[in-house]
Amino acid sequence: MAERLIYLPLGGAGEIGMNAYVYGYGQPGRERLIVVDLGVTFGDMDSAPGIDLIMADVAWLEANRDRIDAIFITHGHEDHVGALGLLWPKLQKPVHCRRFTGALARLKLEEAGQPVDQIHIHAPRPDVVTAGPFRVQFVPVSHSIPESSALIIDTPAGRIVHTGDFKLDGTPVVGEAFDPILWHEIANEGQGVKVLTCDSTNVFSPHPGRSEAVLANPLLDFVMAQRQLVVATTFASNIARLKTLAEAGIAAGRKICLLGRAMRRMVTVAVETGILTSFPPVISPEEASELPRDKVMLIVTGSQGERRAASAQLSRGRYLGIQLKDGDSFLFSSRTIPGNERGVIRIMNALSEMGVDLYDADDGLYHVSGHANRPDIEAVHDLLKPQIVIPMHGEHMHLREHAKLAEARGIHAMVATNGTMLDLSGEAPRVVDQIDTGRLYLDGTVLIGAMDGVVRDRIRMALNGHAMVSVIIDEDDTPLPDAWVELSGLPEQGRAGVPLARNIESELAEFLERADDRTVMDDDRLEEGIRKITRQVSMEEIGKKPEVTVVISRLAAE
Amino acid sequence: MAERLIYLPLGGAGEIGMNAYVYGYGQPGRERLIVVDLGVTFGDMDSAPGIDLIMADVAWLEANRDRIDAIFITHGHEDHVGALGLLWPKLQKPVHCRRFTGALARLKLEEAGQPVDQIHIHAPRPDVVTAGPFRVQFVPVSHSIPESSALIIDTPAGRIVHTGDFKLDGTPVVGEAFDPILWHEIANEGQGVKVLTCDSTNVFSPHPGRSEAVLANPLLDFVMAQRQLVVATTFASNIARLKTLAEAGIAAGRKICLLGRAMRRMVTVAVETGILTSFPPVISPEEASELPRDKVMLIVTGSQGERRAASAQLSRGRYLGIQLKDGDSFLFSSRTIPGNERGVIRIMNALSEMGVDLYDADDGLYHVSGHANRPDIEAVHDLLKPQIVIPMHGEHMHLREHAKLAEARGIHAMVATNGTMLDLSGEAPRVVDQIDTGRLYLDGTVLIGAMDGVVRDRIRMALNGHAMVSVIIDEDDTPLPDAWVELSGLPEQGRAGVPLARNIESELAEFLERADDRTVMDDDRLEEGIRKITRQVSMEEIGKKPEVTVVISRLAAE
């Protein structure tokens, strides 16, 4: 059978988050595989209450583990590397990345108690990593974290460029600038680019993206204009932004204090890996709290409203000896990711109550995106002249829009969401399989399947409340008449003006008294009767039907 | 004791939603009271799972019911009238409003089984409603629903202008245009305006608001450009928008079909009350489904992503015989209210999967706000020349910004959030009391207090899962060794690789065997021990501590 080149997204295609992509080459069903990125996404109360992290279900990879040659990580954002420690035990393959990303990947493996010697650090192109039939090069791209890389994946069927997350930034402040000559080279080597697998995040943003460097002056002006304490928040991993913010603070005659574990860790890693050579000196929270307010600038975690991050802590009162007050200024040097609005607004209002003046990036002065906008994506299509474009890193609407963009330029394109396996060997992509995929949830310390029912039950309890009924059947197989009902998350009292639990109990007592032997002797039948009455009485009394758990205890004859 | 004029917001001040304001005049503690608006807000999974509606806790009003003379409703939006039916039984006072608002208020009372003859319909200024010491006039203002009104509240201590929700729109398409001459009159009668209680929603929007009329041409262009079925969604109560959309559809040679109960009801009420004199003819869904796709335009409910509205139904598949498909167009002629993003995005992606092209109002062409922007608010300050500005209808940050705006013009201003009672008699406002207030939740058919613990328990179960333990103590006061554990919303299995419930049961069996008489005889002590073990074992096994409900059944000696 002829060999073929396949593409299979397991995460990140049809959503923004938990990236996990697979490429394969070989005879159908026997392709050698590489994995690109193993990221997480975060749960919310609407869809995954109590869940700590969400990641792609890699059951298919696990079942084909002997075919995997390597794992590549494009950059150190959580949605690209966050699941590495948790999923590595299922794959147990070498991990390839560049130095800064490697330091973060190493932390992930360490936290999960996995062997860190599995991480292999590589220099960027022209260095080549060989993994089975694949020859892979890391190509520096600009993004909102240092050392982001696109991957050139050379295969016997042609060249793939997998962009990872990127923007076109000629002056990225920290890290490597966009290099059009390099990309021109990549496009024109050998047979050129067969497949461009490309970031779609900002495909709806109509204007060309802006450089990180444009923020320096507005941020300096901003800090200069403030009279009391200045606080700025951004993503901890945006080292360039941290640097720009810190330099603005220093230039305005302030000392810099970093708050938030993630931020201090990122700066440490950036210094240790040589990414960051000239970060201004920082002071401790204790030192900060002793200086005059107009001599300090805090740079803090929590730009997305995270409840435990520094910005949320500061919004709730004194934190590490620092208390915000009337006349202080708080800048969100960030964009709120859709879905995080409630958390961010909560913090803003709490700060407002303290008299803190709020500033956001809505007018574009204090934040630029890390992703390529629509014209930038078009520029990359033109630059790389791929035969096929596969949009990735986007919700369905982003992927679809991106595919339309490519098709308008006469390029073959296809929307392939998680689980869709494409054959890329031919002129145009072709769907060849649909893999059962899904999501894994980290719940406490346990990985569970999204469809296991755990989360479904939590959501039901949250929406409907929970009634627990305990019934005892005595040694003679006669139900004791006093069923016990405990309610959780339900109003104590309904229409009748007596406690709902007592009301249900008395209906149950009647039911148990009347119940025939066939019902009493059959757990399922008895449970069904009890559940029905509990829900019926609740509906009449309070207008809703709770989840019901029935415990039947049968006393053994002595 | 001297008489005084008081202001007390119970809802809407420190949040956007559930408006409820109180004014009083008289001797301290004996003021005669009027209530302005009784609105609702909507719960979400983060803060109020399973809750149907949220409204101000009116316990203070209930306790002072004999002092209330009347309830006034400014306009028919849910956040101003939605709680009328539910709260009216606690107040039982006459309700005053204009005709269109009255029709909606009547529906609220009907739904709640309350007497509709309590609604009194009034013509706008110069007509006056006398309520105790207050003389109240309805002043037409433009907003995103017909017949919105500001209230002029004349009191012995001076004139209050309570704006309600408003914008400055000289060409509002439906309803009354902003009339600067009328406002000039109001400002200059008698002693002028003592207090302006003013909408703060858009205080952060820097540009002057735009008229509803500017949408007609862009919307017509939009519909003309589409080749298949066109669907547009907006708020059902935005009658002007419905009219503009429908007229665009007709002008483009399409028939109009309204989908969604709320929308058809609004149009019916608008026609019956004489608001809407020239709405284009509409066709039924059955008729729509039989016409060619390029001859139909649907106008549908669900612009905020509501799960049961027409837009959500259409995004899930066939609805009332209509099925969207490749090449159809879907327009959000609306802004997504912060917090609703997830629901809207869900629908957009589902439509994208059907091949539907999506259009939103991000570029400003297809939606204008119903609230006054910052320059409009400043214009009203200048026009009315109030002595005092009280910002309302906003989160804390909006109120604070609005107060700063007024102060910058030399006007006394004060941020008063829900529960803060102000004395407005003097030159400047003064805080005179802090009322215990809060929120009531409609849960099914029951009104519960936000602090009753019901919702707290639901959130805890959703985050932590729920373990139920049933223990039986026999006639000799000896615990039966086989405690029964049922888990809801928890992983079945943890670290040990055996079912978590069985694991807990065996630890409990050991505990019960060892337990001394003092523990066994004392329900609280026994429960505490059981809870502790359940949580401990869970923590070790799955890394989280569930909520625990313990049922202890004591068998009576025969």
3-state secondary structure B397-455: HHHHHHHHHHHHCCCEECCCCCCEEEECCCCCCEEEEECCCCEEEEECCEEEECCCCHH
**Calpha distance B130→B128 (Å, rounded):** 6
Alpha carbon of B177 to those of A529, B171, B382: distances in Å?
Answer: 62, 6, 19
* CB-based contact, B488 to chain A, within 8 Å: yes
- Gap from B182 CA to chain A (nearest CA, Å): 35
**Calpha distance B126→B123 (Å, rounded):** 8
- Gap from B275 CA to chain A (nearest CA, Å): 36
Contacts of B553 in chain A (CB under 8 A): 470, 472, 480, 484, 553
Backbone angles phi, psi at B20, to 5 degrees: -165, 110
3-state helix/strand/coil string of B80-138: HHCCHHHHHHHHCCCEEECHHHHHHHHHHHHHCCCCHHHEEECCCCCCCEEECCEEEEE
Q: Could you tell me which chain A residue has the CA closest to the CA of B471?
A: A553
Place of tokens 């109002």: B361
**Calpha distance A178→A161 (Å, rounded):** 15
Q: Could you tell me which chain B residue has the CA closest to the CA of A474?
A: B555
Contacts of A455 in chain B (CB under 8 A): 489
DSSP-derived letter for residue A372 is -
**What's the one-letter identity of residue A198?**
C
Query: Contact A457/B49, CB-based, under 8 Å?
Result: no
**Stretch (H or E) spanning B24:** strand B20-26
Give the pLDDT of residue B343.
Answer: 93
**Calpha distance B111→B125 (Å, rounded):** 30
C-beta of residue B151 within 8 angstroms of C-beta of residue B193: no
**Calpha distance B483→A346 (Å, rounded):** 43
Query: Contact A489/B464, CB-based, under 8 Å?
Result: no
Q: Please give the radius of gyration of chain B, using alpha carbons only, rounded to the nearest integer.
A: 28
Query: Contact B484/A551, CB-based, under 8 Å?
Result: yes
B542 → closest Cβ in A444, A486, A553: A444
**What's the one-letter identity of residue A459?**
I
Q: Could you tell me which chain A residue has the CA closest to the CA of B400?
A: A352
CA angle A92, A97, A99 (to 5 degrees): 125
A461 → closest Cβ in B46, B358, B461: B461
- What average pLDDT does this structure show over A377-397? 98
Contacts of A444 in chain B (CB under 8 A): 491, 542-544
Mutate to test the interface with A, among B446, B508, B537, B538 (most CBs of A within 10 A): B446
At residue A557, does pLDDT exceed 80? no
* CB-based contact, A555 to chain B, within 8 Å: yes
At residue A417, does pLDDT exceed 80? yes
Backbone angles phi, psi at B174, to 5 degrees: -125, 140
Q: What is the largest CA-CA distance in chain B?
A: 88
* CB-based contact, B452 to chain A, within 8 Å: yes
Give the pLDDT of residue B204.
Answer: 96
- Gap from A552 CA to chain B (nearest CA, Å): 9
**Calpha distance A494→B454 (Å, rounded):** 13
Query: Contact A462/B50, CB-based, under 8 Å?
Result: yes
* CB-based contact, B555 to chain A, within 8 Å: yes
Contacts of A462 in chain B (CB under 8 A): 45, 49-50, 458-459, 461-462
Tokens at residue B7, please?
């202001």
C-beta of residue B325 within 8 angstroms of C-beta of residue B355: yes
- Gap from A273 CA to chain B (nearest CA, Å): 33
**Calpha distance A399→A200 (Å, rounded):** 6
Place of tokens 């020859």: A135
C-beta of residue B289 within 8 angstroms of C-beta of residue B321: yes
3-state helix/strand/coil string of B342-403: HHHHHHHHHHHHCCCEEECCCCCCCCCCCCCEHHHHHHHHHHHCCCEEEEECEEHHHHHHHH
Tokens at residue A407, please?
């098709």
**Best CA proximity match to A370, nearest among A245, A214, A213, A209:** A209
Contacts of B551 in chain A (CB under 8 A): 468, 470, 484, 486, 551
Contacts of B443 (CB under 8 A, 6+ apart): A491, A542, A543, A544, B50, B51, B52, B454
**Stretch (H or E) spanning A320:** none
Strand order in the sheet with A430-434: A119-121, A95-97, A68-72, A32-36, A20-26, A4-11, A420-423, A430-434
Query: Contact A349/B44, CB-based, under 8 Å?
Result: no
Q: Could you tell me which chain A residue has the CA closest to the CA of B394?
A: A349
**Calpha distance A237→A301 (Å, rounded):** 10
**What's the one-letter identity of residue B349?**
N
DSSP string, B192-246: -EEEEEEE-TBTT--SPP--GGGGHHHHHHHHHH--S-EEEE--TT-HHHHHHHH
Q: Which of residues 365-424 of B touch A (CB under 8 A)?
A: 395-397, 400
Burial class for B25, CB neighbours closer than 10 Å (0-12, 13-18, 19+): buried
Mutate to test the interface with A, among B466, B493, B508 (most CBs of A within 10 A): B466
Contacts of A355 in chain B (CB under 8 A): 400
CA angle B202, B372, B300 (to 5 degrees): 80
**Best CA proximity match to A131, nearest among A89, A95, A81:** A95
**Best CA proximity match to B103, nearest among B129, B73, B130:** B73
Backbone angles phi, psi at B306, to 5 degrees: -55, 130
Q: Could you tell me which chain B residue has the CA closest to the CA of A452?
A: B491
**Calpha distance A412→A414 (Å, rounded):** 7
* CB-based contact, A431 to chain B, within 8 Å: no
- Residue B554 φ/ψ region, left for φ over 0, alpha for ψ in the -120 to 50 degree band, beta for the rest: beta
Give the pLDDT of residue B557.
Answer: 63
**Calpha distance B432→B420 (Å, rounded):** 8
- Gap from A353 CA to chain B (nearest CA, Å): 7
Query: Contact A461/B542, CB-based, under 8 Å?
Result: no
**Calpha distance A521→A474 (Å, rounded):** 11
**Calpha distance A167→B388 (Å, rounded):** 50
* CB-based contact, B126 to chain A, within 8 Å: no
Give the pLDDT of residue A274.
Answer: 92
Query: Contact B544/A50, CB-based, under 8 Å?
Result: yes
* CB-based contact, A349 to chain B, within 8 Å: yes
Contacts of A544 in chain B (CB under 8 A): 50, 443-445
Q: Which of residues 11-30 of A touch B (CB under 8 A)?
A: 14
- Gap from B103 CA to chain A (nearest CA, Å): 27
C-beta of residue B211 within 8 angstroms of C-beta of residue B171: yes
DSSP-derived letter for residue B294 is G
| B251 three-state secondary structure | helix
How many Cα neighbours within 13 Å face the side chain of A174?
Answer: 28
* CB-based contact, A359 to chain B, within 8 Å: no
- Residue B150 φ/ψ region, left for φ over 0, alpha for ψ in the -120 to 50 degree band, beta for the rest: beta
* CB-based contact, A489 to chain B, within 8 Å: yes
* CB-based contact, A470 to chain B, within 8 Å: yes
Q: What is the pLDDT of residues A483-492, one digit of tens each?
A: 999 999 999 9
Q: Are strands B134-140 and B129-131 parallel, antiparallel or unpaired?
A: antiparallel
Contacts of B345 in chain A (CB under 8 A): 338-339, 395
3-state helix/strand/coil string of B472-499: EECCCCCECCCCEEEEECCCCECCCCCE
A46 → closest Cβ in B45, B448, B495: B45
C-beta of residue A473 within 8 angstroms of C-beta of residue A480: yes
A463 → closest Cβ in B50, B544, B551: B50
**Calpha distance A122→B477 (Å, rounded):** 70
B457 → closest Cβ in A349, A463, A488: A488
Contacts of B445 in chain A (CB under 8 A): 494-495, 542-544
What is the interface size between A and B, counted as CB pairs within 8 Å? 202
Q: Are strands A20-26 and A32-36 parallel, antiparallel or unpaired?
A: antiparallel
Tokens at residue A472, please?
């005892």
**What's the one-letter identity of residue B440?**
L
Give pLDDT tens digits along chain B (558 positions). Answer: 799 999 999 999 999 999 999 999 999 999 999 999 999 999 899 999 999 999 999 999 999 999 999 999 999 999 999 999 999 999 999 999 999 999 999 999 999 999 999 999 999 999 999 999 999 999 999 999 999 999 999 999 999 999 999 999 999 999 899 999 999 999 999 999 999 999 999 999 999 999 999 999 999 999 999 999 999 999 999 999 999 999 999 999 999 999 999 999 999 999 999 999 889 999 999 999 999 999 999 999 999 999 999 999 999 999 999 999 999 999 999 999 988 999 999 999 999 999 999 999 988 899 999 999 999 999 999 999 999 999 999 999 999 999 999 999 999 999 999 999 999 999 999 999 999 999 999 999 999 999 999 999 999 999 999 999 999 999 888 999 889 999 999 999 999 889 999 999 999 999 999 999 999 999 999 999 999 999 999 999 999 999 999 999 998 765
